[in-house]
Structures are given as structure tokens and as C-alpha cells.
């Protein structure tokens, strides 16, 4: 039989694990081509940002995606992939310019946006296309 102290410790570990998972969902995750395929299989709703380090619109979009990830944590997984370092993913998804944002639902592309897009518009799109 568990003592009260053991129960408290177990509950605390569970709470910390949940908080860690929520924090991980609250910011974009960087993926490689290989990790991308696994992510699309695992997550129901994904907003994927193809970016390049030299791209000024990509830099402007980064804080917008951070904010969006926090607002949609637990509903939409936001991921980033460096288009230059992952050319096979760029070719597979037909990315010709950065930033390119691709919305996936159940592993399938449902919408695409090329170029900088304001945060409120991205939030509306994500909610409309991915959150049900």
C-alpha cells in the first residue's frame, strides 16, 4: 500500500511530466527530413515552416510562430525545417521559396502559404484548417 508521501511524490512527478509536455508543445520544434515524416504520422495537425537562416521574412515570421505555438499548444504542432539543410524535404513538398508554410491534417497537406503572413491571419487559418 502506498503511503501518503509516496502518493504525493508520484502525483508531483505526473504533474511535472504533463507540464514538460505542455511546454514542449508551446514552442515550434526543429525537424529534419527524417523526423518530419515521423511527426506527420504522429501528430493530427501540423503547421510546418520551411525557412532559411539568411531569409529576412523568415526571421520576421519566427516570433509570430512562437506566439502561435503558445496559443495553439495541444491543438496544433508547429514545426520548422531548414530548407537549405533538408533539400530532399523541400523537393518532396515542392517548396520553391521561403518562407513556405504548409498546413497538414492527418498527414495530408490541406493548405499552403508562401511569404510572410501576419500572425492573426495565420491563427485564423490554423484554426479553420486544423483545429476542429
From first to last of its 132 residues, the chain has per-residue pLDDT tens of 568 878 777 777 777 666 555 555 689 999 999 999 999 999 999 999 999 999 999 999 999 999 999 999 999 999 999 999 999 999 999 999 999 999 999 999 999 999 999 999 999 999 898 876
At 3-12, the pLDDT tens digits run 887 877 777 7
Q: Is position 132 annotated as part of the catalytic site?
A: no
- At 53 the pLDDT is 95
- At 24 the pLDDT is 53
Q: Which three cell numbers stand for residue 125?
A: 487559418
The radius of gyration computed from the CA coordinates of the chain, to the nearest angstrom, equals 17
CA-CA distance, 111 to 89, in Å (whole number)? 17
Residues 61/99, Cβ–Cβ less than 8 Å: yes
Residues 100/114, Cβ–Cβ less than 8 Å: yes
Considering only the C-alpha atoms of the chain, give the largest distance between any 2 of them, rounded to a whole number of Å.
Answer: 61
Which position among 33, 35, 44, 55 bears the catalytic label?
55
Which position among 58, 68, 125, 130 bears the catalytic label?
58
CA-CA distance, 120 to 128, in Å (whole number)? 12
CA distance between the termini of the chain: 43
Q: Is position 58 annotated as part of the catalytic site?
A: yes
Domains of the chain: 24-130 (3.40.30.10)
Amino acid at each position: 500500500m502506498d503511503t501518503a508521501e509516496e502518493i504525493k511524490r508520484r502525483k508531483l512527478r505526473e504533474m511535472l511530466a504533463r507540464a514538460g509536455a505542455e511546454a514542449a508543445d508551446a514552442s515550434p520544434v526543429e525537424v529534419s527530413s527524417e523526423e518530419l515524416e515521423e511527426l506527420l504520422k504522429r501528430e493530427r495537425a501540423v503547421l510546418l515552416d520551411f525557412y532559411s537562416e539568411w531569409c529576412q521574412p523568415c526571421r520576421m515570421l519566427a516570433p509570430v510562430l512562437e506566439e502561435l505555438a503558445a496559443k495553439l499548444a495541444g491543438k496544433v504542432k508547429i514545426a520548422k525545417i531548414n530548407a537549405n539543410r533538408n533539400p530532399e524535404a523541400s523537393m518532396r513538398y515542392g517548396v520553391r521559396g521561403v518562407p513556405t508554410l504548409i498546413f497538414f491534417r492527418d498527414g495530408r497537406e490541406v493548405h499552403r502559404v508562401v511569404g510572410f503572413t501576419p500572425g492573426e491571419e495565420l491563427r485564423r487559418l490554423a484554426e479553420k484548417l486544423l483545429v476542429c
